[in-house]
Amino acid sequence: MDLSTKYSEGVNSWETVIFLYNSALKEVNTKLEILNDEFRHIHRYNPIEYIKYRIKTPESIVKKLKRNGYESTISNMVSHVNDIAGIRVVCSFTSDIYRLAEMIGKQNDLTVVSVKDYIKHPKDSGYKSYHMLVTVPIFLSKGIEDTKVEIQIRTIAMDFWASLEHKIYYKFEGNAPGYISRDLRECAEIVSKLDAKMLSLNEAILQAREEEELLQKSGGL
């Protein structure tokens, strides 16, 4: 059953909905940690550097609803704000992002609702990240509730840039001077070049390691 139609207004409703979002974050975070551990077990390499998660503040939820022309109700919050529960997954390389997204998509107990690839199609500001909106079933004593979680997957460099942009956005309340926006876009290009160079370097290292292992095996024969 959809949360927006199940819960009525009131303090208890708010607390119940936030409880569900917190539970969903725990579920998705555990799945990501298991996928990372499995990948490290099989390939001796972990694609995830670190994971952060948060519940959107009431103030941010209200602002987003008003910005999009909705009244501040529990029903509208659940129906129209998709990033109340958010997980940020930071990887070393862009190749890790797509590998991890594919692994997430194959989870039987997660439903991928939508995908936004801001890496292949960056925002005008220069923002890059891979967004997945998923629902996860929360098993309660009275039944199952499918709850939305937004997963953002990005590289360390992308995360550094996005954090700086976020601070500037709030400092200037979304109206940063033109030269700052221009410099941010230039930095986004630098970040893209850095990610591409680091990926190329990593691939060269892996190839060199494979060649060395082949030489050692042939020498042993």
Condensed to tens digits (0 to 9), the pLDDT of residues 132-153 reads 999 999 998 888 999 999 999 9
Is residue 101 a part of any domain in this protein? yes
Q: Is the dihedral of CA 180, 184, 190, 191 positive or negative?
A: positive
- pLDDT higher than threshold 80 for residue 1: no
Inside any domain, residue 142: yes
186 is catalytic: no
Rounded (to 5) percent helix, strand, coil in the chain? 55, 20, 25
C-alpha dihedral, 68 to 72 to 78 to 82, nearest 10°: 30
Distance CA 169, CA 194 (A): 24
Amino acid occupying residue 209: R
What's the structural domain count of the chain?
1
175 in any annotated domain: no
**CATH no. for residue 95?**
3.30.460.10
What pLDDT, in 10s, does the model give residues 150-183?
Answer: 999 999 999 999 999 988 877 776 677 888 889 9
Of 27, 71, 145, 150, catalytic: 150
pTM above 0.95, yes or no: no
Residue 150's domain spans which residues? Answer: 3-156
Q: What are phi and psi of 86, to 5 degrees?
A: -130, 140
